[in-house]
Structure 1
């Protein structure tokens, strides 16, 4: 396909500068986003045994709720039961005390909760815990690109990533225009050799074109997620004028307003009315006022598009005896609602079970590689090479050295910081027995390590920092399965090893440790043999 030269030139300029300006933030979002496909598994993997209370049978929930509310009156109004939840795996019942309640526009780093269960003899067991939640940290990095701070009830990073997503979509379209003339000939051509730019360009093109639909979906949905309040406000002014866009749910008139809350009956009715779904958790609000009470049931099905990252939500009054309104579930949606749900589901990758999650993990990591390789392409196009050994060694431009240090420090710093916080999550309760907030430690450790890598790269240069950071990542990844091995062979109070279905995390850490050791060897050899004055010469 032929494209006019002037159009190709404009597309190349836009693609280059848009990619460079947004590449680092997109790398962080995509790398963390790939990991969020299993964020709840990572949180369970990093949760110490003392924070996991025993599960109970569905027929015991009434007994648990009644005993808990009798002993802790603050749990009567708002609480949550967890039936089969990957996200809220800590205990069958959770609530927040009055001192722990967090305002809607505040960032809940502490993640404090009261947890309750029943012992084997039916006695109530309650403990207060600062829940370990590595997956939550990774999810925040995915949403914000690691940019801290709040603006209203959203983090600043969400708005920034909305703008970045617009640039990202522009980069996708201009990149497609650039590839159209040679798409058929060069699609699967990956040419290795001395010309590093050719190799990076070929791999960049293969990954980009192969995952094009995925990247279009992600970029469009991020814009919607970031600015949905703005869209709703505009729709409200244009279409609804002075009328409220969303009507408040009317209070339900109950036949028996003093009826006892029956958890078992609720679970039975959910199973009957939504047989394709399994109940993960139910959150109750204003449960002390039957006519105003609300229940938010999180339901999961691998066979349907889901509105949340892993759930569809059904809202009802827990005291009502009439059938629940299941029209909000994808299985019962109208065609337009199904289309809207599919946009959420295609972004989250929550359909098709774990098979789809593994595909999205690969696509997320491929996206991270796409932005990393894009920056390297820009560098390879602008480095000055010594073609004549008789003349002075060329000095690289400040802009080139800056982008090289930024790319190496930020991208590899993000990878190292995430894996190190995962490791800290396993050792924190051994090294700091009186630790009051594990999530504060994880958040601060991420930013300290990330900023340290960034500063280190600028201080010693990208060429010397690259192999060092790759080697550090490999060592941290090796220490993750080594920790489980130590806990298994030499039991230490506060240290535990992976078991059950979570063993794969340690196995993959070992595999990727080998990959990063290989990357380290290649980077070290290149640094030692690069020509003097080269950007990658140590």
Structure 2
């Protein structure tokens, strides 16, 4: 395909500058994002088991609830029946220590079970914060900021990412047939990194297009919805839609809690209405003593799912009838199914573990793509400076070099140290301690990048990242055989 040389050069400049501006942030987002595909298994792996009797059967839950609510009346306000207990959710009945919390990550929970004599046994429990922090790191593109500012900044980076994709494709089109499979590993650093960058970029392009578009949607979905409503909806339709959304999300149908079905009966009613849906937890909440709502969180591997761990449905506690299916895989309306497709393609929440491992690999490949792009820019920049008579990189080139290597290897080392530390100690639980440790390691690597000489920088930081990463399987193996 022939494109005018001046146009190709313009897009090459756009691709280079957009890449160097967003590459460091995108490396962190993709590296942490690849790991967070397995957030739930990672959380279970890093959470220490609690000393609690084996979970009771689902049929025994009413007896357990009666004894737990007698000892802890506040638990009736909000509690969870766990259908598939894990290390993170170790008991059949659990409730938050502080009811009414709205927190994206793990919270302090009370876990309840019955001993062999039928006596109530409870223990305070909180899953590891490490897996959640890594996911937050991915969403915040590595910055220690909070919503909505991180979401807006992530949207800007996603838009730059989309621009880089378009400009990169335009630049590569004229030499597509000639250089598609070129891999010149022994013909100089610039050609080696260029071929690696092009090869990875072309063959993972569909994945990157999906991630870029869905990231922009996540960042600005509120703004997009408001603009769409103002432009294309009549006032009456706006009012009706607002009421529908409000009723669906914030004012579910009310039922009397004393007439609620037992969990086993709820499961039977749900099985008849949605045979393919596999429930994982039943979440009960009461606005007062006479009103109760029930949300069932579960999964169905035959359909795309709204969240990384599955979908949910609202049920009537008194009858088990499904009241809302907007977020339930397999029973969604067409508009919600389209929106769910964007979420599922971003999270990899379809196709089981095969797709998740694919997303893990593609996430790491994406991270390396941005690293290779930054290296290409730095090499090209220094070569231009040399042609102008410079004997060493300029101040701007040095700064971007140190920033790139420090951030990349700091991210890898920081995440590896988090996982290793969580394996070693059960007291590493608070979000603050996790974030402080990560950013301490990150800043140490970043500072070392500015202090270490140019010839030793990559070697020193690379060895640090390799040692901290290899420490994870070493610590796990030692724990397995020693303990």
- Shared fold (TM-score greater than 0.5)? yes
TM-score after normalising by structure 2: 0.91
Question: Do the aligned partners of 2:88 and 2:126 also contact (CA within 8 Å) in 1?
Answer: no
Question: Do the aligned partners of 2:52 and 2:123 also contact (CA within 8 Å) in 1?
Answer: no
Question: How far did residue 122 of structure 1 move?
Answer: 3.2
Question: Do the aligned partners of 2:97 and 2:108 also contact (CA within 8 Å) in 1?
Answer: no
Question: How far did residue 384 of structure 1 move?
Answer: 4.2
Residue 118 of structure 1 corresponds to which residue in structure 2? Answer: 114
Residue 126 of structure 2 corresponds to which residue in structure 1? Answer: 130
Question: Do the aligned partners of 1:424 and 1:442 also contact (CA within 8 Å) in 2?
Answer: no
Residue 460 of structure 2 corresponds to which residue in structure 1? Answer: 468
Residue 314 of structure 2 corresponds to which residue in structure 1? Answer: 315
Residue 89 of structure 2 corresponds to which residue in structure 1? Answer: 89
Residue 162 of structure 1 corresponds to which residue in structure 2? Answer: 155
Question: Do the aligned partners of 1:26 and 1:371 also contact (CA within 8 Å) in 2?
Answer: yes
Matched, 1:181 2:174: yes
1:404 and 1:90, CA in 2 relative to 1: closer, same or farther beyond 3 A? farther
Q: Deviations over 1:18-68 (max 9, x none)?
A: 111000010000001111111111111111123787433222222222222
Residue 214 of structure 1 corresponds to which residue in structure 2? Answer: 207
RMSD (Å), alpha carbons: 2.7
1:200 to 180, 193, 196: 193
Instruction: Give 1:346-425 correspondences, 5 Å limit.
Output: 346-384=345-383, 394-425=391-422
2:439 to 447, 462, 482: 447
Q: Secondary structure at the match of 2:15?
A: helix
1:289 and 1:447, CA in 2 relative to 1: closer, same or farther beyond 3 A? same
d(CA) in 1 for partners of 2:428, 2:378? 45
Instruction: Give the number of aligned pairs.
Output: 475
d(CA) in 2 for partners of 1:302, 1:17? 41
2:139 to 140, 143, 148: 143
Q: Deviations over 1:102-129 (max 9, x none)?
A: 4x4xx67773222222334433221113
Question: Do the aligned partners of 2:28 and 2:408 also contact (CA within 8 Å) in 1?
Answer: yes
Q: Deviations over 1:267-318 (max 9, x none)?
A: 222222221121111221217545x422221111221100111211111232
d(CA) in 2 for partners of 1:382, 1:353? 44
d(CA) in 1 for partners of 2:104, 2:351? 31
Residue 285 of structure 1 corresponds to which residue in structure 2? Answer: 285
Structure 2: which 5+ runs fail to align? none
d(CA) in 2 for partners of 1:449, 1:399? 25
1:321 and 1:342, CA in 2 relative to 1: closer, same or farther beyond 3 A? closer
Q: Deviations over 1:118-173 (max 9, x none)?
A: 334433221113321321111111111122233xxx34222211110001000000
Question: How far did residue 320 of structure 1 move?
Answer: 3.5
Question: How far did residue 90 of structure 1 move?
Answer: 3.5
Question: How far did residue 481 of structure 1 move?
Answer: 2.7
Question: Do the aligned partners of 2:53 and 2:115 also contact (CA within 8 Å) in 1?
Answer: no
Question: How far did residue 380 of structure 1 move?
Answer: 1.1
Q: Deviations over 1:458-508 (max 9, x none)?
A: 1224542321222122222332233233334433xxxxxxxxxxxxxxxxx
Question: How far did residue 82 of structure 1 move?
Answer: 1.9
Matched, 1:265 2:262: no
Residue 29 of structure 1 corresponds to which residue in structure 2? Answer: 29
Q: Secondary structure at the match of 1:293?
A: strand
1:359 and 1:489, CA in 2 relative to 1: closer, same or farther beyond 3 A? closer
Residue 477 of structure 1 corresponds to which residue in structure 2? Answer: 469
1:426 to 419, 423, 427: 423
Residue 294 of structure 1 corresponds to which residue in structure 2? Answer: 293
Instruction: Give 1:2-81 correspondences, 5 Å limit.
Output: 2-50=2-50, 54-81=54-81
1:456 and 1:97, CA in 2 relative to 1: closer, same or farther beyond 3 A? same
d(CA) in 2 for partners of 1:353, 1:206? 28
Question: Do the aligned partners of 1:144 and 1:155 also contact (CA within 8 Å) in 2?
Answer: no
Residue 516 of structure 1 corresponds to which residue in structure 2? Answer: none
Question: Do the aligned partners of 2:111 and 2:124 also contact (CA within 8 Å) in 1?
Answer: yes
Matched, 1:233 2:230: no
Q: Secondary structure at the match of 1:331?
A: coil
